């Protein structure tokens, strides 16, 4: 299934960068944050990034919508990005909301740095649809990312993550989460 609408949960630095990449890729993008001022800052940053660009890139801004709840953002999304801070309690809440409100076949990539994606995915009824996302430093023209598969991430989900990364202009390496 090729996603047409993505939800980005969390409008901080990672979230706004994901939203920008998704809109540039021509995807309807629903950006959510519980703090209205964070959403406003993210939209201002995205507008500034697109402001001096071509007319096509400026039209990308029209593809971005905002939401004020996970439910509102996830309801119409074919693909979800969790870009909330890397805090255990918050991530548990995101994965619980994923189960409750995301479309049945919608995969979710969660931006992580220190948390175990296997532990987080085990909190859902759909661990096969979950993986971690890490942004890597580098001087490449294309953003480099790692997609961290949990012990239960499905091959079909990995194919969807690869496809989405390509659409967003990212070079993605698929990595296994180390087992305990």
pLDDT score recorded for residue 46: 94
- CA 18, CA 127: separation in Å to the nearest integer? 22
Please enumerate in sequence order all residues whose Cβ is within 8 A of that of 12, keeping only pairs 6 or more positions apart, or say none. 33, 38, 42, 83, 85
The residue among 142, 9, 16, 144 whose CA lies nearest residue 79 is: 9
Q: Per-residue pLDDT tens, the chain, 180 aa: give them.
A: 678 999 999 999 999 999 999 999 999 999 999 999 999 999 999 999 887 666 766 689 999 999 999 999 999 999 999 999 999 999 999 999 999 999 999 999 999 999 999 999 999 999 999 999 999 876 555 789 999 999 999 999 999 999 999 999 999 999 998 876
What does the domain layout of the chain look like in residue ranges? 5-176
Alpha-carbon distances of 154 from 131, 150, 151, 160, rounded to whole Å: 9, 9, 9, 10
**What are the tens digits of pLDDT across the range 107-146?**
999 999 999 999 999 999 999 999 999 998 765 557 899 9
Encoded tokens for 6: 């993505």
pLDDT score recorded for residue 161: 95
Q: Topology of 5-176 in CATH?
A: Rossmann fold (3.40.50)
The residue among 119, 29, 128 whose CA lies nearest residue 83 is: 29
The sign of the CA dihedral 83, 88, 93, 99 is positive
């Amino acid at each position: 299934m090729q996603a047409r609408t993505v939800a980005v949960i969390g409008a901080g630095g990672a979230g706004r960068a994901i939203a920008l990449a998704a809109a540039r890729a021509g995807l309807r993008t629903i950006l959510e944050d519980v703090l209205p001022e964070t959403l406003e800052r993210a939209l201002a940053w995205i507008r500034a990034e697109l402001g001096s660009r071509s007319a096509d890139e400026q039209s990308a801004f029209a593809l971005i919508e905002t939401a004020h709840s996970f439910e509102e953002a996830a309801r119409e999304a074919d693909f979800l990005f969790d870009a909330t801070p890397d805090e255990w309690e918050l991530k548990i809440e995101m994965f619980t909301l994923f189960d409750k409100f995301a479309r049945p076949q919608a995969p979710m990539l969660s931006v992580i740095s220190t948390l175990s994606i296997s532990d987080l995915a085990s909190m859902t009824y759909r661990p096969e649809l979950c993986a971690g996302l890490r942004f890597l430093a580098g001087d490449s023209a294309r953003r480099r990312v790692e997609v961290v598969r949990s012990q239960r991430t499905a091959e079909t989900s990995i194919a969807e993550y690869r496809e989405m990364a390509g659409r967003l202009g990212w070079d993605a390496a698929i990595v296994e989460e180390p087992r305990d």
